[in-house]
Structure 1
Amino acid sequence: MPETPQDVLELLQTLLQRAYAPYSRYSVAAVVRSKSGRLYGGVNVENAAYPLSRCAEQSAVLQMVSAGEREIAEVWVMSRGQRPATPCGGCRQVLIEFAPPSLPVHCLSSEGTALHITLGELLPYSFTRSYLEED
């Protein structure tokens, strides 16, 4: 079972404290490691108009793309409580835009439970740019 690097774990724990979840009270933090090795973090940001809320994974990917990078090498997601949260369906689709199905996704709980899975296992038969490039 892969061990979470200490710098990633510390970043996740710091980010989890910064999540803005006044409605669901379900804080989530995410870190993506780009192909260059750089880490980008994000948190969930809720909004009273619920559809305008953003997930932590999306926030982290937006940070990466804003920095000029386009390839994700690894992802960590941490939620409060005992059960680790997996990325939602929308976040899975955002991740597959910048990563292969073999992308390691590490889902962690703040209490130490972990699920290590690939993006392809989370999102089988994903819709990718290859569908848009067909003749």
Structure 2
Amino acid sequence: MSRDLFEAARAAMAKSHSPYSRFPVGAALRTEDGSIYAGANIEVASYPEGWCAETTALGHYVMGGGGRITEIAVVAEKMARITPCGGCRQRLAEFAAADTKLHLCDDTGIVETVTMGEMLPLGFSRETLK
């Protein structure tokens, strides 16, 4: 079942706009109803004002109505076992539970699966701000 999520992330990576770093990244997330939302990194000349693949995927997810995220896949063309950056870990944690599966991929498939809690053990939460 996770192969299709990887394929969505890889297809998104192919649409990356990364003329400055030349480091395409794709991300995809699945909600419990089976919906998949994908995104690629998008760079602009006013670095660092671009956005990451995970951020793009989250934008599609929010605009698509959201839902409980059950798994996430991240892939980079030039790096095996890519992980979300620190900012994206926090962004993902805003919408995903600590037990949400995070698939770290290379260009051929899933290399390792961890949880969001393992990726960001002490992240901020909504409860922190109340």
- Fold conserved (TM > 0.5)? yes
**Structure 2, unaligned runs of 5 or more:** none
Structure 2 counterpart of 1:18:
15
Structure 2 counterpart of 1:126, from 104, 109, 123:
123
> How many residue pairs align between the two structures?
130
Structure 1 counterpart of 2:71:
74
The 5 Å alignment of 1:1-135 reads 4-5=2-3, 7-112=4-109, 114-133=111-130
AA paired with 2:39?
G
AA paired with 1:60?
A
The percentage of counterpart residues that share the same residue type is: 37
SS of residue in 1 equivalent to 2:83 = coil
**Structure 1, unaligned runs of 5 or more:** none
SS of residue in 1 equivalent to 2:81 = coil
SS of residue in 2 equivalent to 1:51 = coil
AA paired with 2:129?
L
CA distance in 2, matches of 1:36, 1:16: 24
SS of residue in 2 equivalent to 1:52 = coil
Instruction: Give the drift of 1:12.
Output: 2.4
Greater than 4 Å deviation, 4+ residue runs: none
SS of residue in 1 equivalent to 2:20 = coil
CA contact (8 A) 1:12 1:30 kept: yes
AA paired with 1:39?
I
CA distance in 2, matches of 1:18, 1:113: 20
CA contact (8 A) 1:81 1:111 kept: no
Q: Indicate the structure (1 or 2) with the bigger Cα radius of gyration.
A: 1
